[in-house]
Amino acid sequence: MSMLSLFIFFLLAFALTYFMRAYALKKNIIDNPNERSSHSVPTPRGGGVAVVCSYLLALTVLIYSQQLTLHIGLTLMAAGFVIALLGFLDDHGHINSMLRLAIHFLVAISVVISLGGFSEVTAFNGLALGFSANIIAVLFLVWLLNLYNFMDGINGIASVEAITTVVSMAILYYVLNTTLNSDIHWLLAACVFGFLLWNFPKAKIFMGDACSGFLGLTLGILALIALKENLALFCAWIICLGVFVVDATYTLIKRVLSGYKMYDAHRSHSYQILSRKWGSHTPVTLAVAAINLLWLLPLAYYTVTQPLAYPEFMVLVAYLPLILIAMKLKAGHPDA
């Protein structure tokens, strides 16, 4: 993948975000602050559609130039398009949460079937998962899709998480000289970066559900593609996604145990608490980038380059400090 190609798709996403902002203002697609919000000023939303459109075009180009197999390309494009369209419609008018979740499951099941299933996967140095691996894969995709929406709450955080994750994994693919395609990672980073400049440090437009769900699903599919190669690579993906996975999962479990409904609006994620404590979104987003690159990436590198009997153990090592941070900040606590 040439630098020129990356620059072209970066510019495309940047330009499309400008037009999406104009469209949102014209149609009054505005995100007004509520009890879940971490912002205080009404801001247009839906700018992430630019990322979706530019990345789908990038995948089309890769398929046409035979740099990406038709099977993988169409799986990413079809699943991503459906989730992005669902999010786009939700941005324009509320869609019933149960209907939305049902579609999420249908898309996730379709992806797992398209990828050939995961019944052959073993964990913990030989434990055969059988058909249960397919169920776990479906739940993984649905949860990652939704948690990405939960975590898209302050300026730049969802974009920075996506960029650092795919760049980290692209670096690992290069180090390992794997046959897996890393061009799809670099192109996604370029497209997201084109949007990021409109969203960070000061948000001129928000990403919206169309893109947050799209990113969560896309990252999940890329992780499952790595799982077809080997478990250590999949564990590396899980490690690199650690900030979002831990914050969203810990907060949700804490809130459910406290008697709250799963989709109740709130501001008790670790990143939201920190943004209030520090009085700004910017240092929190930069802290996420630092954790991803200085803590999670080295651990992911160790996981894929060392002959570990239990690569799953490295996920625990990576997550433990993040869990302790969430506990210290009282994430999910009603008074947080």
Q: Which two tokens stand for residue 200?
A: 């960070």
Please tell me the predicted confidence (pLDDT) of residue 321.
98
**Strand runs labelled E in the chain:** 30-31, 43-44, 122-123, 127-128
Please tell me the predicted confidence (pLDDT) of residue 28.
84
Please tell me the predicted confidence (pLDDT) of residue 95.
85
CB 299 within 8 Å of CB 317: yes
Output 84-88 pairs: Cβ under 8 A, ≥24 positions apart.
84/49, 84/52, 84/210, 84/211, 84/213, 84/214, 85/210, 86/209, 86/213, 87/149, 87/208, 87/209, 87/210, 87/211, 87/212, 87/213, 87/214, 88/46, 88/49, 88/208, 88/209, 88/210
Please tell me the predicted confidence (pLDDT) of residue 192.
98
Tell me the per-residue pLDDT of 10-57, one tens digit each, with 9 for 90 and over: 999 999 999 999 999 988 888 776 656 566 678 898 899 999 999 999
Give residues with Cβ within 8 angstroms of 181, minimum separation 6. Answer: 62, 67, 68, 72
Could you tell me the end-to-end alpha-carbon distance of the chain, in angstroms, rounded to an integer? 45
Report the distance separating Cα 89 and Cα 13, nearest Å.
20
Q: What is the mean pLDDT of residues 114-133?
A: 93
Tell me the per-residue pLDDT of 75-119, one tens digit each, with 9 for 90 and over: 999 999 999 999 999 877 778 889 999 999 999 999 999 999 999
Task: Please choose, from the candidates 211, 181, 199, the residue with its C-alpha nearest in 3D space to the C-alpha of residue 86.
Answer: 211
Q: Which two tokens stand for residue 211?
A: 């893109």
Q: What percent of the chain has pLDDT over 90?
A: 81
Please tell me the predicted confidence (pLDDT) of residue 85.
96
Please tell me the predicted confidence (pLDDT) of residue 38.
60
Tell me the per-residue pLDDT of 69-82, one tens digit each, with 9 for 90 and over: 999 999 999 999 99
The Cβ-side half-sphere exposure at 136, using a 13 Å CA radius, reads 13
Report the distance separating Cα 109 and Cα 247, nearest Å.
25
Give residues with Cβ within 8 angstroms of 177, minimum separation 6. Answer: none
Q: Which residue has 């240092």 as its token pair? A: 283
Task: Please report, for the chain, the start and end positions of each structural domain, with discontinuous segments joined by +.
Answer: 3-29+40-328
Tell me the per-residue pLDDT of 211-265, one tens digit each, with 9 for 90 and over: 999 999 999 999 999 999 999 999 999 999 999 999 999 999 999 888 887 777 7
Please tell me the predicted confidence (pLDDT) of residue 29.
83
